């Protein structure tokens, strides 16, 4: 059966205070972790395609102990099965190493026609994994979509930007990323939640997918964070003065410059 792989990620809750370790990796031990919200939008699009075309939906994540909870949320929503990649050697991997590991994990799944990701994770906010995966697989990438559909071997999507909506298409197999402008994710029902709790999730290490520890991990990363600083505190907004006509003109200019109108 043709498969859709949905990449999900277990991330620190955005309501938690997030801090960095001395090596500039994120402190994940002292915060609550949840499935990344944008991944739920990706799962929803995958489930819609499953309902329309009969795909098998496979949820995949790479992460430490506890990461399977993101997979259980995907299963509760309606994914058919899940796969966990867990290996201590993955710790600190940059986006290239992470994408390489995910690529080889995806390669364990037969007949993958579509990889669906969230547009960007809330902990890294890079948004590069979909494009890198597409390059590794030599397949088209359709990114930052708010909707996606399949017609035969053609995939179509709509990307919303400040300048308007763009309709894009490509031939399957392909990689897509979904933004939070897409349809709201469904709530898991009681039956789905209970089934997800009982589901057995196969766990793979790097050896099982043919990846060497020297290809991943912080020590072998091709990129490095050399410094970091906190966001500056938000300051007061700009005040404008004048007559009603002048204020309206300034407001219109501001909105136009920000591409809000």
**Which residue positions in the chain have pLDDT lower than 50?**
none
Domains belonging to the chain, first-starting first, are 3-220 (3.40.50.620)
In sequence order, what are the residues at sequence separation of 6 or more whose Cβ sits closer than 8 angstroms to the Cβ of residue 259? 162, 163
Q: Which pLDDT tens digit goes with each residue over 228-254?
A: 777 778 777 788 888 988 889 988 998
**Number of CB atoms found within 10 A of residue 253's CB:** 10
What is the distance between the alpha carbons of residues 230 and 81, in angstroms, rounded to a whole number?
Answer: 39
**Residue 31: predicted pLDDT:** 66
User: Quick one: which of 205, 217, 211 has its CA closest to 91?
Assistant: 217
**Residue 46: predicted pLDDT:** 97
**Residue 208: predicted pLDDT:** 97
DSSP string, 17-60: PP-B-TTS-B--SSS-EEE-HHHHHHHHHHHHHHHHH--EEEEE
**Cβ atoms 145, 178 nearer than 8 A:** yes
**Cβ atoms 201, 61 nearer than 8 A:** no
What is the distance between the alpha carbons of residues 145 and 226, in angstroms, rounded to a whole number?
Answer: 32
**Number of CB atoms found within 10 A of residue 100's CB:** 18
**Residue 256: predicted pLDDT:** 87
**Residue 92: predicted pLDDT:** 86
**Residue 166: predicted pLDDT:** 94
In sequence order, what are the residues at sequence separation of 6 or more whose Cβ sits closer than 8 angstroms to the Cβ of residue 32? 12, 13, 15, 16
**Residue 50: predicted pLDDT:** 97
Q: Which pLDDT tens digit goes with each residue over 59-107?
A: 999 988 889 999 999 999 999 999 999 999 998 899 999 999 999 999 9
**Residue 209: predicted pLDDT:** 97
Q: Hey, which residues does 145 pair with through a beta bridge?
A: 159, 178
């Amino acid at each position: 059966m043709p498969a859709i792989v949905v990449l999900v990620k277990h991330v620190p809750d955005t309501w938690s205070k997030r801090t960095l370790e001395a090596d500039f990796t994120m402190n994940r031990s002292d915060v609550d972790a949840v499935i990344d919200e944008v991944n739920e939008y990706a799962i929803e699009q995958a489930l819609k395609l499953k309902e329309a075309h009969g795909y098998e939906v496979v949820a995949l994540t790479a992460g430490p102990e506890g990461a399977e909870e993101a997979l259980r949320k995907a299963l509760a929503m309606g994914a058919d099965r899940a796969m966990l990649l867990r290996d201590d050697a993955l710790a600190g991997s940059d986006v290239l190493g992470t994408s390489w590991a995910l690529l080889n994990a995806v390669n364990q799944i037969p007949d993958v026609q579509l990889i669906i990701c969230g547009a960007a994770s809330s902990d890294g906010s890079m948004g590069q994994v979909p494009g890198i995966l597409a390059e590794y697989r030599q397949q088209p990438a359709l990114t930052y979509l708010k909707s996606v559909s399949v017609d035969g071997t053609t995939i179509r999507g709509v990307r919303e930007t400040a300048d308007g909506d763009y309709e894009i298409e490509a031939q399957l197999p392909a990689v897509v990323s979904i933004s939070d402008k897409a349809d709201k994710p469904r709530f898991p029902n009681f039956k789905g939640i209970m089934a997800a709790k009982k589901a057995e999730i196969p766990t793979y290490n790097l050896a099982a997918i043919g990846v060497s520890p020297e290809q991943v991990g912080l020590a072998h990363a091709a990129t490095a964070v050399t410094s970091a600083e906190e966001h500056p505190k938000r300051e007061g907004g700009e005040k404008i003065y004048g007559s009603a006509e002048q204020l309206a003109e300034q407001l219109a200019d501001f909105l136009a410059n920000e591409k809000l109108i």
